[in-house]
Structure 1
Amino acid sequence: MWVTLSIIGVFAIIVFIFLQQAQFGRTPTRERLARVQNSTHYKDKNFQNQSLTPQLTGDKGSVKVMFDFLFGSRKRVTPVDEIPSIKTDLLNLDASEDILVWFGHSSYFIQIDGKRILVDPVFSGSASPVSFTTKAFKGADNYKADDMPNIDYLFISHDHWDHLDYETIEKLKPKVGKVICSLGVGEHFEYWGYDINKIVEMDWNENTVLNSGFTAFCLPARHFSGRGLSPKQSLWSSFLLQTPTFKIYLGGDSGYDSHFASIGKDFEGIDLAILENGQYDNDWKYIHMMPEQVLQASKDLKAKRLLPVHSSKFALSKHAWDEPLIRIIEANKNKEQDVITPMIGEIVHLKDTTQVFRQWWVGLE
């Protein structure tokens, strides 16, 4: 018994020390904590979704789900071939161009109406607190923080490791004008040394004027949050970015729900919806969308075009790496939606609806 207790004690100490690393950030404190606790979406000491949202579904239980994920049959979750990409020189772009560049998974750069925006950047090569796990696919990690120009607005949808990367955020610090994030997430940035005056933190259904003609709206999503042992202490969100000439929905991570239709009704004329399409599974079907639901969400939003993301860089589920793209193209075979599928690094001309994108994943193993 004493040997067992000693082993457990040593393990607990190791875990405690490990969790003290800066990369885990910090849960809200002081004025921010009071604001979190006063949020109408914070109940029973946690942020809550609008609908009942169990993180795991079915009768397996969390231990069985984790065992299946780690040791169950998983075919082609990581590509054998190198992911094709284009290396666009972002440091020397024509400032008058309105473009988007996707970096794989949920990281992308937008230049629109003279402003530069970066969303959920992960450039460390890993989506985990342990750098040798959850590694980026070969060819999918060709962009680094040094490749980024100065950023006017950095959007962070929530604080999970595949959306908020400590190493990347540290390296970007001198380049970022303002951080736009969900309520509670600002604590991480303040802890990491960002000027508090540069942090714009919002609850759902709040908005902020960023500049003349630029407004960011913080909107609901159906997901969860957390970097350490205290989950749901910061909010997960989607955002609507209104520029002088364009309207972009930044979907973050979300399961399917009625909020898409509500947003589509409240914000007419969305030019581009960027929605997660990947890392789904029936065992967690309420916190990530299936590809067919992604297509429906875009319809609910009444978006003119859809960019499916959250794939092609990290294996965070049990499906084949290319399945999300195959399924959404198949679901859209009648061309009900204008779905764009750029390669990593390929320039998307935001106002050119005639631009053609090839199915770059076809033929890769």
Structure 2
Amino acid sequence: MITFLLIITLFAIAFWGFMQQPKFGKAPSGERLKLILNSPQYKNGKFENQNYTPDLAEGVTYYSLFYDFFFKKAPRKKPTDLIPSIKTNLLELPLDHDVLVWFGHSSYYLQLAGKRFLIDPVFSGNASPVPGTTRSFKGTDIYTVDDLPEIDYLLITHDHYDHLDYETILKLKPKTKKVITALGVGSHFEFWGFPTENIIEKDWYNQVILDPNLTLYTVPARHFSGRSFKRCNTLWTSFVLESKDFKMYLGGDSGYDSHYKEIGEKYGPFDIAVMDNGQYDEKWKYIHNTPEDVINALKELKPKRVLPVHSSKFVLALHPWDEPLKRITALNTNSENPLPLITPMIGELVELRNEKQQFKQWWKEVV
């Protein structure tokens, strides 16, 4: 009995020590917490979605979820082959070129109206606080922070590890002019040494005027947040990025809900929509879009083209690694009004204003 208690005590001490690491960030406090408490989205001691959003679907338990993930056989969760990629020289891209470069999952770089943006970058090769547990696919890590130019605006949709990566953020600190994110997330950045004056935090339906030709809006998503045991103490968001003659919907992680229609009516139509399309499951259908959800959302957002993301880099669900791209392609082809799909390889240059740019279905060549 004494030995058992000693083991439990040592484990508790080790776990406590592990949780003190700076990668877990810091909960909002002080003036930031006062702003949070005044947010219409903050209710019952936490941020909430516009409509009731359970973590898991009806009848699903966390026990069954963990059992399936760790013991159930799920074929082709990871590719056997290398994920193909292209190494574009981002340091020499002319700033007057409006382009986008995808890094896999939900990380991408874009240039619009003479400004450089970086969205949810993860370059550490891991999407978990526990080293080696959620490794990136082979071939997806050809870019590092050193390959990036100076960033005008670092956009962070929420504070989950596959979107807010501690190692990457620290390396980006000297290259980043401004951070724009949702309420509360700035607490992590301050804790990690970013100057307070360089952090912009907004509630839903707020705007940030970047310059006379460029405006950013923070808009709803249907998701959740949290980097440790406390959930939803920071807000999650999507963005609308608008210049005088070009408009983009930059979707964060989200399940389908009425917010897509609201965003489409208030800000749309869009030239390009970036959509969460991967790591889904019927067990958590309220917080991640299925490809069918994406098709429905596109009818409401009304973009000219769509870039499906949140796939092809990490295993965070049990579906085959290439299923999100296969399903969205098939559904879009058979839809009433099919849209041009933007499906670049990692690193391939996407020309934002070229509606006729073609992309091959590169996943078909990967086992």
TM range (shorter): over 0.9
Which residue of structure 2 lines up, in the alignment, with residue 202 of structure 1? 202
Partners of 1:297 and 1:60 in 2: how far apart? 25
Task: Give distance in 2, aligned partners of 1:231 and 1:14.
Answer: 22
- Contact 1:295 / 1:337 at 8 angstroms: preserved in 2? no
Runs of 4+ residues over 6 Å off in structure 1? none
DSSP 3-state at the match of 1:221 = coil
- Provide the residue aligned with 1:158 in structure 2: 158
Q: Which runs of 5+ in 1 are unaligned?
A: none
Q: Deviations over 1:303-355 (max 9, x none)?
A: 11100000000010000000000000110113622211111100000000010
1:45 offset after TM fit, Å?
1.1
Partner of 2:315: 315
2:113–2:214 Cα contact (<8 Å) kept: no
1:212 deviates by 1.6
Conserved? CA contact 2:101–2:108, under 8 Å: yes
Write the distance in 2 (CA, Å) between the matches of 1:195 and 1:123: 22
Letter in 1 for 2:365: G
What pairs up with 1:1-365 in 2 under 5 angstroms?
1-334=1-334, 336-365=338-367
Q: Deviations over 1:86-139 (max 9, x none)?
A: 000000111211100000000000011111000000000110112211111000
* SS of alignment partner, residue 136 of structure 2: coil
Identity %: 54
1:95 to 1:60, Cα distance in 2 relative to 1, 3 A: closer
The answer for unaligned runs of 5 or more in structure 2 is none
Q: Which amino acid aligns with 1:318?
A: L
Distance (Å, rounded) in 1 between the aligned partners of 2:123 and 2:198: 22
In structure 1, the residue corresponding to 2:366 is in which secondary structure?
A: coil
Structure 1: distance between partners of 2:213 and 2:66: 46
Distance in 1, Cα, partners of 2:43 & 2:6: 38
Comparing 59-68 and 43-52, the one that deviates more: 59-68
Question: Cα distance, 1:85 vs. partner?
Answer: 0.3
Secondary structure class of the residue paired with 1:10: helix
Q: TM-score, normalised by structure 1?
A: 0.98
The answer (yes or no) to whether the contact 2:158–2:182 under 8 Å persists in 1 is yes
Deviations 1:172-231 (A, max 9, x none): 101111101010000000100001111010011111111122111111100000011111
Instruction: Give SS of 2:201's match.
Output: strand
Deviation at 1:2? 4.1
- Quote the offset at 1:6 in angstroms: 3.2
Counterpart Cα distance in 2 of 1:308 and 1:268: 18
User: What amino acid maps onto 1:234 in structure 2?
Assistant: T
Per-residue CA distance 1:38-95 (angstroms, 9 max, x = gap): 1111111111011111111132311221111111111101000100000000001112
TM-score, normalised relative to structure 2 = 0.97
Counterpart of 2:298, as a letter, is S
Q: Is the 8 A contact 1:277 1:310 kept in 2?
A: yes
3-state SS, counterpart of residue 194 of structure 1: coil
> The residue matched to 1:332 in structure 2 has which SS?
helix
Counterpart code for 2:247: K
The amino acid across from 2:175 in the alignment is K
For 1:266, the aligned partner's letter is K
Provide the secondary structure at the position in 1 that maps to 2:15. Answer: helix
> How far off is 1:8 after superposition?
2.6
